[in-house]
């Protein structure tokens, strides 16, 4: 599968946030980085159809604006940045609801099998009968990730999926997403802040800066001290570890970049 974004421009009323974004995204993990408020969430919302930008977004040549709501729900899995957890549903019920587009009047054995499999993979099967209200922020985040994965989407959009998770869960979730992306040929786009996690798990990185794509490509070519200084206003040391993955050590904030 291939997703082509052509001349994407988006404004909230009169304030333009994204301007002339052109991107080609293949079946792989693409991580979108950039400072707070640069438009990462806005870009993901445009791709999943929640926002209507100018320009075109084509999936294998077809404009995603022409997908019906049901088609889009089946193809695109979207994990929002903010997660609402104030319901009395159990974890199992909430995750089954992630399959809403395919559920009929009765829940089939297949639906239940897939749901339990995803709960197992995320290590939260033990929470299946607990109410969402009783969970910690990190546990709720895992439930939200499960809700997206049970849809078996072809395009996986995740907005800061690891922001509430401890170090072990961050690594486990990203490893799982990487494996699923490979095995199922998914187009996976993840917005995140942690440059070292991005460096390790991304096949490609897209850097947003002032509404535009400032740089994109392999982690080692994009995550340079120059780019980090220009985009974040931070002086950083960048080395390369034994796997060829860039390692970023921030040193100090520099304010001369504006
Ligand atoms: N619903 C909205 N209405 C108006 N402005 C918004 C809305 N959502 C986001 N913005 C603004 O758009 C810009 C980009 O936001 P966002 O895409 O959430 O950035 P990021 O995810 O990179 O932090 C910010 O300046 C933000 O204040
Ligand atoms: Mg955001």
pLDDT tens string 100-135: 766 666 778 888 899 999 999 999 999 999 999 999
**Spans of the chain below 50 pLDDT:** 257
* Domain-located, residue 258: no
Q: What is the DSSP code (8-state) at residue 159?
A: E
**Strands (DSSP E) along the chain, which ranges?**
2-12, 15-26, 29-33, 54-59, 62-63, 76-79, 155-159, 187-191, 204-209, 212-217, 234-240, 246-253
Strands 234-240 and 246-253: antiparallel
Give the pTM: 0.94
* Domain-located, residue 21: yes
Distance from residue 104's CA to the centre of ligand 1 (Å): 36
* Domain-located, residue 196: yes
Instruction: List 235's β-bridge partners, or say none.
Output: 252
- Relative to the CA of 34, which ligand 1 atom is closest? 22
pLDDT at 103: 61
* Continuous segment of H or E residues that includes residue 175: helix 167-184
17 Cβ closer than 6 Å to some ligand 1 atom: yes
- CA-to-CA distance for 214 and 44, rounded, in angstroms? 17
Q: Among 76, 66, 116, which residue's Cα sits nearest to residue 96?
A: 116
Nearest protein Cα to ligand 1, atom 18: 41
pLDDT at 107: 78
Q: What CATH number did the domain enclosing 155 receive?
A: 3.40.50.300
pLDDT at 257: 46
Q: Among 117, 111, 91, which residue's Cα sits nearest to residue 99?
A: 111
SS3 content of the chain, % helix, strand, coil (to 5): 35, 30, 35
Nearest protein Cα to ligand 1, atom 20: 37
- The gap from C-alpha 95 to its chain's centroid, in whole angstroms, comes to 18
Q: Among 64, 131, 53, 148, which residue's Cα sits nearest to residue 92?
A: 131
Residue ranges making up the domain that contains 132: 2-253
pLDDT at 101: 66
pLDDT at 77: 93
Distance from residue 43's CA to the centre of ligand 1 (Å): 10
- Relative to the CA of 208, which ligand 1 atom is closest? 22
* Domain-located, residue 48: yes
The ligand whose atoms approach the alpha carbon of 34 most closely is 1
pLDDT tens string 6-34: 999 999 999 999 999 999 999 999 999 99
By the 8 A CB rule, do 34 and 12 touch? no
Number of structural domains (the chain) is 1
129 Cβ closer than 6 Å to some ligand 1 atom: no
> Which tokens hold the place of 90?
């159990």
The ligand whose atoms approach the alpha carbon of 42 most closely is 1
41 Cβ closer than 6 Å to some ligand 1 atom: yes
- CA-to-CA distance for 96 and 51, rounded, in angstroms? 26
């Amino acid at each position: 599968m291939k997703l082509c974004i052509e001349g994407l421009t988006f404004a909230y009323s009169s304030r333009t946030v994204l301007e002339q974004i052109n991107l080609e995204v293949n079946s792989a993990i693409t991580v979108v980085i950039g400072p707070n408020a640069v438009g990462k969430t806005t870009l993901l919302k445009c791709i999943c159809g929640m926002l209507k930008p100018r320009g075109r977004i084509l999936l294998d040549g077809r404009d995603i604006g022409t997908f019906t709501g049901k088609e889009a729900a089946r193809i695109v899995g979207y994990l929002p940045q903010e997660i609402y957890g104030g319901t009395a549903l159990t974890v199992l019920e909430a995750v089954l609801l992630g399959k809403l587009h395919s559920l009929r009047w009765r829940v089939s054995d297949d639906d239940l099998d897939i749901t339990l499999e995803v709960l197992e993979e995320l290590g939260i099967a033990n929470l299946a009968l607990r109410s969402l209200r009783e969970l910690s922020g990190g546990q709720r985040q895992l439930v939200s990730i499960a809700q997206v994965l049970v849809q078996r989407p072809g395009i996986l959009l995740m907005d800061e999926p690891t922001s509430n998770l401890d170090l072990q869960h961050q690594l486990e979730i990203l490893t799982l997403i990487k494996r699923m992306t490979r095995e199922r040929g998914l187009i996976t786009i993840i917005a995140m802040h942690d440059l070292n996690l991005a460096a390790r798990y991304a096949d490609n990185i897209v850097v947003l800066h002032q509404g535009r794509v400032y740089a994109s490509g392999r982690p080692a070519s994009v995550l340079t001290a120059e780019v980090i200084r220009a985009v974040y206003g931070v002086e950083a040391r960048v080395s390369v570890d034994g796997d060829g993955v860039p390692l970023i050590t921030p040193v100090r904030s520099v304010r001369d970049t504006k």
